[in-house]
A and B are shown apart, each in its own frame.
Chain A
Amino acid sequence: MLNFLSCRENGTLDPLALVRAEATRRTFSLELSKEQDVKRIHASGVNSLDLDPVEGRYLISGGADGVIAIYDTHNLSGTPSNTSEAVCTVGRSHRHVHKYSVETVRWYPHDTGLFTSSSMDKTLKVWDTNVLLPAEVFQFEGTVYSHAMSPVAKKHCLIAVATMTSIVTLCDLKSGSSTHILKGHRAAVKCARWSPRNPYLLATGSQDNKVLLWDVRSAKSSLMSLDQHNGELATSTAAVNTAHNGHVNGLCFTPEGLHLLSFGTDNRLRLWDTATGRNTLVNYGKICNESKKSVQFTVSCGSSPDVVFVPDDSSIAMFDVFGGTSLHRLVGHYNYVQCCVFNPDTQELYSGGSDSNILVWVPDLGRGEDYEESKKQKAEPSQRSQTTQAYQDTWSSDED
C-alpha cells in the first residue's frame, strides 16, 4: 500500500491502479461489522433494499409487513460504533401504506426526491420523499413481484413492472399511465432489470424458466430468449430455449452492462453475454435458491476480479464473476437472505433477510487495532473508578 502510494506520488503508477487495488482488497475482506448496525424497523422479513445512487448514503428497505423505511448510513456520531437510525418510515399507521408485503423498493436513479415501491397488493406507488406521500399509484391485475427503472436513460422515464400475469407492463412517469405491454412470457414474471449500458435494453426472468431480452423501442416481440445450451441441445420440444431448469427469480447486470447474471430455482447461477445472448458456461456450482419470489443479488464494482454476492440459504456466497470460483461465504443471518446491495464507493455490503434484520458488511480498513485500543482506554478509567469505590482498601503490596 505504502509502496503504491509513493509510486502514485512519483507518477510511475496509473491513477486507476491504486483505486482498483484498494477496492479489490476491500471487497475481498468483507466481514460482518462489529461497530455498525441498522435499526430494526420491520416486524417481518426484509424483501428489498436499495442504496441511493447519488450519494450512496440513504438506504431504503421494504418489508413483508408492508412497511418502508429509509436509513441514513453515514456515521456522524463521532464514535466508531453507530446504529443507522431511520430517517423516515411509511409505517402501518400511515394513510397510504401498502396493504400487503412490499416486494421491491427503488430509488429514482437521478435523485433522492422520489422513490418507487411495488407490492403484493397489486399496486406500484411513486412516492415523494420529502412529504412522504404517493405522487402516483398504478394498479395491476396481478401481484407485482419486481419493478425497475433504467439507470442511464435520458429520453424516457419508464418503469418496467413484472407481475404475476405473464405480461411485463411499462409505466411512464411523464404521463402517469402505462405506455405499452411486453408479451412473450408464458407464466408469472419474477424479475426485470434494465441494462446499465443501453437505455432501451430490458431483461426479464420468469416462472416459465426463460430469460427474455427486450428492446423497448421495437414493435416486435422480444429481441432474444437466452438459451442455456447455446442451441446445442435444442432438439427436445419441452426444454427449448430455456435459461434455467427452474423458475428464474433473480437478474443482475454487471456494472459495465456487458454481461448478465441470472439466478434460478434449479440452484444455478448463469452468466450471459448481453451482446450475443450466449451462455458463457461459467459454472458456479450449486447455490441454494428456494425463494418463490424475486431474489435481489449484486455484483461488486471496481474490483478486479469482480465479485458477485448471491444469497445462498441463510448466508451470502461470494463468487468470482468470470472464473466461477467460490471465494467466501458471509454468515450472519438467522434465516433466508432475500436481498443485498453493494456500495461502490465504500465497498460496503448491506443485506436483508427473512429474520427481519438488515446487516452491514464492512471491509477491513486496517484500523481495527487502534479502535480497540482507544475503546479500551476509554472504558478502563471509568471501570477502575467504579471498582475502587466498591472495594476500596488501604492496603498496598508496593511497600513490601
Chain B
Amino acid sequence: MMSKRKALMPDVFKRRKRVRVGGLVRPTPSSPQWGSDNEEHISAAVPSDTKAAIMYLCSLFPKQMYEGRIPPIIMKHQLYSVVKNKTLVDRQLNDLRNAHEVKMMKLGNEVDEYCLVFTEDYKNHIATFYGQELSKTVERFLEDVVSRTNEMCVTQQIMTDHNFTDVEITQLVNAGVLTVRDLGSWWLAIPGAGLFVKHFTKGKKAVLASIRKSKYKEILKQELESRKMTASVKLGMSYHIHDIIGGDLVTCIETTSGELLRLKDD
C-alpha cells in the first residue's frame, strides 16, 4: 500500500536522479510540471491506449461460439480495468466516436451501462445478419445515419432530416436496429444482442456468486481465471473479470501472489 502511494506522489523536490550520458545532463523528457506521472508519459506516447484496450477486449470475446450471430461487443466500463486513468479513457473514446471508428450504444440494465462496437463490425454484422433480406431502408439508414452521427440515440428531427417516414422508422424498429427510448427518440441497437445480454447477465451473476461463496468473499484473480464454469460463463472468465473490476464491483488488492479480488458489500 505504502509503495503504491509513494509512486503516486508527485516528485515535488525533483529528487529522482537524472540520467547522465557522457557527462551531459539530459533534460527529463517534457516534464514541465511535477503533476505529470510516469505512466501518463507512456500512454501519451502510444497512439491511443483506449483503442488498443478495445481491440484486446474484443479479442477476448468468443466469436466462434456465436458463429457471426453477434459482433464482438464489449462494455464501456471494462476499459477501466485495462487503462487505469478513467478520464483518459473517456476522452480517447470520445475521439474514437467522433472519428466514427467506434459506436457506443445503450445496452444493459444500469443507467450508465453502455456497450462498444467497432463501426466496421457493426455494419458487417447487420449485412450478414440479414443477408439477402437486407431491406433498402436499413441500408439507407446505415449509410445516412449510422455513418454520420456519433450519438447513441436518434430523434424524430434527425430522422425526418434524412427523409425517413414513420412507416420506415417502424420497419427499422422491427428490424432491430432501433429500439424505442421515448416519445420521438430511439436508441441505436444491435439486432440479435438479446442473446449477448442473456449470457452476459447470467455469467456475471455466476462469477459474483462464486466470489461470494469463497472464504472472506475474496479470491485470487489467477484462481478465479482457472475455475471451470463453462456452463454458465459462456463469454469467458477473463471477459467477466474485466467487467467486474471495471464496474467497481470488486476491489483489486495487490498481493505477493498476484491480484486479489475482494467483493464490495453494498
Contacts and interface: CB of A to CB of B under 8 A. Distances in A.
B181 interface: yes
Interface string B74-100: 000000100011110111001000000
Given A238-B182, A245-B111, A328-B5, A304 B85 contact: no
Given A3-B13, A4-B13, 14 more contacts: A28-B5, A28-B8, A29-B9, A235-B184, A236-B153, A237-B183, A281-B94, A285-B80, A285-B248, A286-B248, A304-B35, A305-B10, A324-B85, A325-B8
Interface string A285-297: 1101000000000
A328 B6 CA distance: 10
Contacts of B86: 283-285, 324-325
Interface in B208-266: 248, 266
Interface string A353-396: 00000000000000000000000000000000000000000000
A288 B266 contact: yes
Interface of A is mostly: loop
B91 A281 contact: yes
Nearest to B111: A245
Interface in A124-172: none
Nearest to B181: A236
B151 A236 contact: no
Nearest to A238: B182
A281 B87 contact: yes
Nearest to B35: A305
B6 to A, nearest CB: 9
Interface stretch (A19-27, A252-260, A335-343): A19-27
Given A323-B85, A325-B85, A304 B111 contact: no
Contact of B12 (A24, A281, A282, A325): A24
Interface of B is mostly: loop
A220 B76 CA distance: 41
B10 A283 contact: no
Given A233-B152, A237-B182, A266-B111, A282 B87 contact: yes
A327 interface: yes
B185 interface: yes
Contacts of A235: 153, 155, 182, 184-185
Contacts of B84: 325
B182 A281 contact: no
A16 interface: no
B15 to A, nearest CB: 9
Interface string B33-48: 1110000000000000
Interface of B: 5, 8-10, 12-14, 33-35, 80, 84-87, 89-91, 94, 111-112, 151-153, 155, 181-185, 248, 266
A232 interface: yes
A219 interface: no
Contact of A24 (B5, B10, B87, B183): B10
A22 B182 CA distance: 54
Contacts of B35: 304-305, 323
Contacts of A233: 151-153
Contacts of B8: 28, 325, 327-328
A1 interface: yes
B9 A236 contact: no
B50 to A, nearest CB: 12
B242 to A, nearest CB: 15
A29 B5 CA distance: 8
A20 B14 CA distance: 13
A4 B35 CA distance: 18
Nearest to B39: A325
Contact of B13 (A1, A237, A245, A325): A1
Contacts of B90: 281, 283
A305 B33 CA distance: 9
A158 B78 CA distance: 47
A130 to B, nearest CB: 42
Nearest to B10: A24
B87 A323 contact: yes
A106 to B, nearest CB: 32
A237 B182 CA distance: 8
30 contacts: A3-B13, A20-B12, A21-B12, A21-B34, A24-B10, A25-B13, A28-B5, A28-B10, A232-B151, A233-B152, A233-B153, A235-B155, A235-B184, A235-B185, A236-B182, A245-B111, A281-B90, A281-B91, A281-B94, A282-B87, A283-B86, A283-B87, A283-B90, A285-B80, A304-B10, A304-B34, A304-B35, A323-B85, A324-B87, A325-B84
